[in-house]
Structure 1
Amino acid sequence: MIEAHEEDLKTYIYRELEQGGKYDIADQSFMNRLVRELTKGAEGMFLLPVLRLRTILKEPTPGQMEDRLADLSHSLDDAFADTIARIQRLPESRSRLGLDALRWLTLTTEAMTESELSDALAIHEKQNAVNVKYRPTTKTILECCQGLATVDTEGRVRLAHYAIQEYLTEHSEDLFPRAEATIAVTCLRYFVFENFQDGPWTDRSEIKSKMEMYPFLAWAARHWGHFTQQTETDPEVWSALFTFFSSSVATAVTNQVRQYSLGLRRDYWIASECWSYTALHHASREGLDRAVNQLLDSGAFSVNELTEMGATPVLMAAADGHTLTTRSLLAHGANPRLRNWYGDALDCAIEADRVDTIRELVRWGMDPNGVADDGHTYLNSALDTDSAGAFATLVELGADIEAQSEKEHHVHIFLTAARWGCVKIVSLMLMRGWADIEMRSPSGLTALHYAAAAGETTTVKRLLDASADIKAMDKKGRTALEYAEARGNKTTARLLVDAGALPRGANRARNLVLRSDRPAATH
């Protein structure tokens, strides 16, 4: 909650009254009374008096302002309701713009930039191309939202207070009917606009240019699936979805812009990979279970269709944790053991920490103790992203920690987890008793040695908190502190020293000092 100090509020209100020209129609005594009333009812909140002030300032005469002041509620919900009513009383096009903007701001999980929101609000039914003449300015958007929206320091448009989010979410069915479906359809229609029919593009600069010219494109490419999954059975969404799927250009462009805007490496967004990314891959990645079944039943797609990089639909579904879609693909004959550059479907689910999908794949028949041709194990996939939930699930389903340690690491997997900075998995193994904190490698190194050598300060701290022996030496007599210093890991070394570690030779030097401080023997 944004708090308000009384003097700040008074300063703000007097400034608004002056800028609004209200001193021309009301005397100073009324203005002073207005400030007192608004400040008194603030209850430590800045937002409430601001909304109440804006309601009062809309009145044309002092008498009407006094009437409005007497009628105003002191509750936030009533203030929000008054503001919504004020938006609804605006001229039709401005009222629609204000409510449309609030719908986007209420439902989006990733805040939109000014240009993204403006571009989205410019999309109207029956358009087949972007028309920049319909893009509203940020000033106009904020005016139509009547104080419920603001622009943050990073240029993103947000609701002005989390209490507004709560209010609009609670009343969304009345204020924004079919809101998710409307956003899904807006995204899907945008993808098939004429502006993007020259894609996918071969050059990085072309992609950036399109994203700058059409700001909504990247946002829509990242988020269309979220809203479509929620509303897949809506007839309008279903129609727009299959119009999108029927355009190979649209599906290729959407994938290219998504992958590029997420900062993925070039292999993911080059034109040839994007051309190979089919409607079935899209539907699988976004968890569109009904669409997946429809596409497969049509006979137009192979359930094991490969992209240029080797991605299959079941890999896409597993990596994004869409368990029902994974199940549907398996039922249609998908082979989860097919591998791309990273691994198979179980590897992808593990790396993304998708616990339910891991269970589904093992239930289907994948072996949690399976080993790839290169010796890669599934527990190792959990280490790649410190996926503790996946690690625990694999062990629960029968993964053998000792056996997988021998196959891939040549040391216990606990020591590898420490070296790689997998603090969640290190904590899990200690908590479950799956590892001895003082276990050693063949060279006598402990987990603390490995973490210190790698400069994994967070893991070092976790091990120290778990009472790891800070004085432990390897077979050559070296401590964790010596490993940290040898690798130039100054922050880690300082942590160890602060925890009581002594540099090499410090014990001997301390003993010499103690002996020199003793009084001389008398004879």
Structure 2
Amino acid sequence: MKAFHKKHAAISTRPSLDDISVALQSVASIYSKVFIAIDALDECQPTERSLFLSVLFNLQSKAEVNVFATSRPILEIEKLFNGCQSIDIVASPDDIYKYVDGHISQLPDFVRHNPDLLEQIKVEVSASVQGMFLLAQLYLGSLEDKISPKEMRQALERIKLQGQKDSKFEILHDAYDDTVERIKSQKNGFRRLAEKTLYWISYAKRQLKTTELQHALAVDLEIDTGNIPREFDDESKPGIDLIVSVCCGLVTPDQDTADEEGRVIRLVHYTTQEYLIQIREEWFPEAEKRMDDVCTVYLSFDVFEYAMDLWKSRKQHEFLEVLQSSPLYAYSSINLGRHVRDSNSSRHIMPEFPTNDNRIQLTLRAILHLGFGTFLELLPETEDPTALFLT
């Protein structure tokens, strides 16, 4: 590894897949037995996944290597592991019971003062979730707003009936339906915030960082008032705890990222994305158009006229500082066109934007910087945005 580093650091390159494979094989041959664990293999892009696994399987033919991989059930992945032992991973009833017991505090106070009801909740929820912590979480969330023991027992009866269905995905779908109804029954402000959060997360062209999502929601809410802002108002930005709360358990902050700036708010489970894909055109049919509007308004903020002046004055450091202090600028620059295309709409919230040369030049420079940062200084000076784009 030191030799590889020395070779590539000198010329600012990275080792090839073959280089890495040889290095891995060299290290593996030192040991009598090697274990390689791969978590969430389904999150690897299909084209990369096949290549990645072919390297590992080739390694197995040359050394004593054991591979352990986790994945949601996908036929293409199962075929790649054809003939290998596989098991369904589910939580044990005891673990589910402990989970429910540990989250009873989120239920109304009258539950804790009623030992029989308390035990019934633990038993019924644990028995109905078929080994899925996610389902236990959704069911507990559905019990939070019950106002009496009778209403609580009626809700438990519905949960029990849902748990008797054969298909786990059918059970989850019913639980998601109940959660969506809870979201829709909230006060208007909370409901709108939840809907915007869910369509931004589910329609976004890539995973959004928390700061990007907050800026997107803030601008979206400003547009709701009929106001087209010329600058970002930090006081319009909703808090992370509120965003998570109004979505009733469907989203969660990523706890695995130590860097606060790099954290994301994601859907709580891959089945949540699949469920939203099924209902999102009915629930928020104008989502792509709204995202197009937000990106357009954000790119039109006055601060970016100032950024263009900095660029023309060759003040690249200050220019980049302006872009980096505007979290949604990178996303909007790269993905505005995709939202315009996917919205299939001829209506533009700011008709003058596509004909503003300064805006287009700045956006294209940002795209090129964000995609090919090392070539930023090579961009030619031109007053023709089309020529710049073609270049």
1:56 counterpart = 2:143:
yes
Distance in 1 separating the partners of 2:126 and 2:152: 16
Distance 1:268 1:223, change over 3 A: farther
Distance in 2 separating the partners of 1:269 and 1:175: 46
Counterpart residue type for residue 206 of structure 1: E
Counterpart residue type for residue 192 of structure 1: S
Q: Is the 8 A contact 1:57 1:65 kept in 2?
A: no
> Partner of 2:203 in structure 1?
107
Q: Is the 8 A contact 1:192 1:247 kept in 2?
A: no
> Partner of 1:145 in structure 2?
247
> How far 1:20 moved relative to its partner?
4.3
> How far 1:12 moved relative to its partner?
2.2
> Partner of 1:227 in structure 2?
339
Counterpart residue type for residue 34 of structure 1: I
Unaligned runs of 5+ in 2: 1-71, 73-88, 164-170, 258-262
1:247 paired residue among 331, 351, 356: 356
Residues 76-114 of structure 1: per-residue CA shift (max 9 Å, x gap): 111111111111111111100000000011111310000
Higher mean alpha-carbon deviation, 186-195 vs 24-33, is at: 24-33
1:70-469 matches, cutoff 5 A: 70-72=157-159, 73-74=162-163, 75-123=171-219, 124-125=222-223, 126-128=227-229, 129-152=231-254, 153-154=256-257, 155-200=263-308, 201-202=310-311, 203-232=315-344, 234-237=345-348, 240=350, 242-267=351-376, 273=381, 276=383, 278=385, 281=386, 306-307=387-388, 312=390
Distance in 1 separating the partners of 2:130 and 2:113: 26
Distance 1:21 1:277, change over 3 A: farther
Residues 206-255 of structure 1: per-residue CA shift (max 9 Å, x gap): 244323432111111111111112234x1324x54x42222222212222
Give the 3-state SS of the residue equivalent to 1:197 in structure 2.
Answer: helix
Between the two proteins, what is the percent identity of the paired residues? Answer: 23
Residues 176-219 of structure 1: per-residue CA shift (max 9 Å, x gap): 11221211121112111223221223344324432343211111
Distance in 1 separating the partners of 2:274 and 2:215: 26
Cα RMSD of the aligned pairs, angstroms, is 2.3
Distance in 1 separating the partners of 2:384 and 2:111: 65
Distance in 2 separating the partners of 1:109 and 1:61: 44
Distance in 1 separating the partners of 2:338 and 2:326: 21
Distance in 2 separating the partners of 1:208 and 1:267: 11
Distance in 1 separating the partners of 2:383 and 2:92: 59
Give the 3-state SS of the residue equivalent to 2:103 in structure 1.
Answer: helix
Q: Is the 8 A contact 2:107 2:143 kept in 1?
A: no
Distance in 2 separating the partners of 1:149 and 1:28: 31
Counterpart residue type for residue 151 of structure 1: P
> Partner of 1:17 in structure 2?
104
Normalised by the size of structure 2, how large is the TM-score? 0.66
**Relative CO higher for 1 or 2, CA cutoff 8 Å, sep ≥ 6?**
2
> How far 1:142 moved relative to its partner?
0.6
Residues 113-169 of structure 1: per-residue CA shift (max 9 Å, x gap): 000000000012222221111111111111111110112223111111111111111
Normalised by the size of structure 1, how large is the TM-score? 0.50
Distance 1:179 1:249, change over 3 A: same
> How far 1:66 moved relative to its partner?
1.1
Distance in 2 separating the partners of 1:269 and 1:54: 54
> Partner of 1:65 in structure 2?
152
Paired positions, count: 279
Distance in 1 separating the partners of 2:377 and 2:92: 52
Unaligned runs of 5+ in 1: 282-305, 313-339, 341-523
Q: Is the 8 A contact 2:307 2:322 kept in 1?
A: no
Distance 1:66 1:160, change over 3 A: same
Distance in 2 separating the partners of 1:277 and 1:66: 69
Distance in 2 separating the partners of 1:22 and 1:6: 25
Give the 3-state SS of the residue equivalent to 2:373 in structure 1.
Answer: coil
Q: Is the 8 A contact 1:142 1:150 kept in 2?
A: yes
Distance 1:23 1:211, change over 3 A: farther
Distance 1:90 1:212, change over 3 A: farther
Counterpart residue type for residue 211 of structure 1: L
Give the 3-state SS of the residue equivalent to 1:4 in structure 2.
Answer: coil
Give the 3-state SS of the residue equivalent to 2:352 in structure 1.
Answer: helix
Distance in 1 separating the partners of 2:356 and 2:378: 18
Distance 1:269 1:181, change over 3 A: farther
> How far 1:172 moved relative to its partner?
1.2
Counterpart residue type for residue 105 of structure 1: I
